[in-house]
Structure 1
């Protein structure tokens, strides 16, 4: 029979102990055994040899930055060239018409010509200001899109230099908002202290977006309640459609201005088109099962009349439009803060309807 070896009791060792040998994890042959000299005959026998395997370090490979598909570079477009040329021709034609009109007025009377020239100057100056405001609004909306996409890439790649550049640009972008004074001061104080780029973006989101997200939710909830009440008591379906469209346009404009955008007429058209496209892509036009469960869970399905039910549904759709507009007008993606959920807004809407009953 094989003699049973008693288990070895736990013991401590020092790295300088000759009985402790460091070997590679893959080296298990006889060459891994120590070559320490044998102890002197008069010395006490050494303790059992202990072999410590060194784990091989796995090199850390930085993730590659994903290619941006949000704002792909566009090449030459014949449509853009056509509309640019057509707009230039129409502008020249309008200018020639105005100049000919002023000349005819001067031919009739010096007073009429002077009045016509003053009116033309005022109209041209006002048009230039309007065009400048529209261009400024479109530039700010484009800047929000760029900040959003760049921040999303930094969260994936953890690029510290890019994160600092984004935060500095965001601080300058949100500087006119007095509500974010404390958040801007805190973020500026810790801008150089955070090593990870993703953590810096998350800190910026918590400090700058928390107050704005709360106010955005309040705006969406009020707009949904207003639409629900008006469409429930309106006698015509055409009035419902017009009011929902006006309320949705106003809500999108309020959300854009809240997060720092200043859209004009062209900017609002762009935001409306992007919001509808976003809803079509995400499938948000149809009511989900969770929303219907929220309605049924409140026990209102059997008590609501058909007209009142239409008001609740219109309010839900308005809230969904508001949530889609937040994704388009918010300069930072949702990462550190929770995304507003339609179910919470629906609960607020249903509580409002219960109080009115």
Structure 2
């Protein structure tokens, strides 16, 4: 019969102990029978010497855990993108625009030739006027392109910052902050915030925290000023709507104030939109309102309106003034989401209910 090896008692040891041996997991399984056989064979020899010499320290063997096999991820199934056909509409409008430009150029050159045929003085005056018109048109086109480029940069910064808040990429956050500092450099109101960011841009480890710091330092004064702008525009619309005699005047005034408000908010956050930029912002603002629910009123807003006197708030002209003021405020809030270079994360988003409370307080003072 084979001798049974007594179980080992629990003991503590250090990994730096020379009696600790690290072996592979496959070797540990094959070495156990051999170790047991050798222990049985040498039990008689060790019994004789155990009485005269202290027993040597046991040798501890640690087996490496087998690492799980690395399974390469399967490549995603290829998505077959539909082939885009040739854009005949783009070709048509490009060709039509070229023809109109050539026709206009031929008309101007023919006009100048006729003026020179009539008189040298008239030809010179016509040439100077044509050059002034061409130079002015080039400047206008350049300003429009510059405004569209700045609006596109704001959209890119907003999207990149939102992605950094999710991925916490420090290198990308530092790149965004440096670009944002250059973008907001002309604004003297943000001098202190720019100095703080330049001081701590290399000290913060987390990219998301760096974006939040930039939002607190740069966007706080701009958000406060934007709220004041929206409140004043909403109060102005509410007052004019309440005293205007015709609905057409109300519509025109609301459209003018809303367009002016969107332009002011865009310039406040660093954009410089021209005519095309304003058209783009108006279209995006209306689309944003459609996506976010239009001018749907929340419970807090309805409580604010109904809590200040049902008869006076829902009367004919006063009710129209409050509703038009809330519409203007809603347009302003949507414009903030489109013109703000950083998403709302560290700071709270302006709420329509707070603006409505300011509007109703103003109406109470007027009454």
Measured in 1, the distance between the counterparts of 2:95 and 2:141 equals 17
Aligned counterpart in structure 2 of residue 87 of structure 1, from 94, 97, 104: 97
Contact 2:312 2:318 in 1 (8 A): no
Aligned counterpart in structure 1 of residue 253 of structure 2, from 243, 246, 259: 243
Contact 2:151 2:339 in 1 (8 A): yes
Residue 161, structure 1, aligned to residue 188, structure 2: no
Measured in 2, the distance between the counterparts of 1:80 and 1:289 equals 47
- C-alpha deviations, 1:94-145, integer Å up to 9, x for none? 1111111101111111111001000101111111101110110011011101
State how many pairs are aligned: 301
1:306 aligns with: 316
Residue 325, structure 1, aligned to residue 335, structure 2: yes
The RMSD of aligned alpha carbons is 2.9
2:23 aligns with: none
Measured in 2, the distance between the counterparts of 1:181 and 1:79 equals 48
1:173 aligns with: 183
List alignment gaps of at least 5 residues for structure 2.
1-10, 18-31, 33-49, 52-83
The structure that is helix-richer by fraction is: 2
Q: Secondary structure at the match of 1:192?
A: coil
TM superposition shift of 1:93: 1.5
List aligned pairs for 1:279-298, cutoff 5 A.
Answer: 279-297=289-307
List alignment gaps of at least 5 residues for structure 1.
1-12, 19-30, 32-39, 42-73
Normalising by structure 1, report the TM-score.
Answer: 0.78
List aligned pairs for 1:191-202, cutoff 5 A.
Answer: 191-202=201-212
2:350 aligns with: 340
Instruction: Decide whether aligned partners of structure 1 residues 82 and 111 sit closer, same or farther in structure 2, where only a CA change above 3 A counts.
Output: same
Residue 186, structure 1, aligned to residue 196, structure 2: yes
1:232 aligns with: 242
Measured in 2, the distance between the counterparts of 1:337 and 1:154 equals 16
1:109 aligns with: 119
Normalising by structure 2, report the TM-score.
Answer: 0.76
Measured in 2, the distance between the counterparts of 1:76 and 1:187 equals 48
- C-alpha deviations, 1:311-332, integer Å up to 9, x for none? 0110000000000000000001
TM superposition shift of 1:14: 8.8
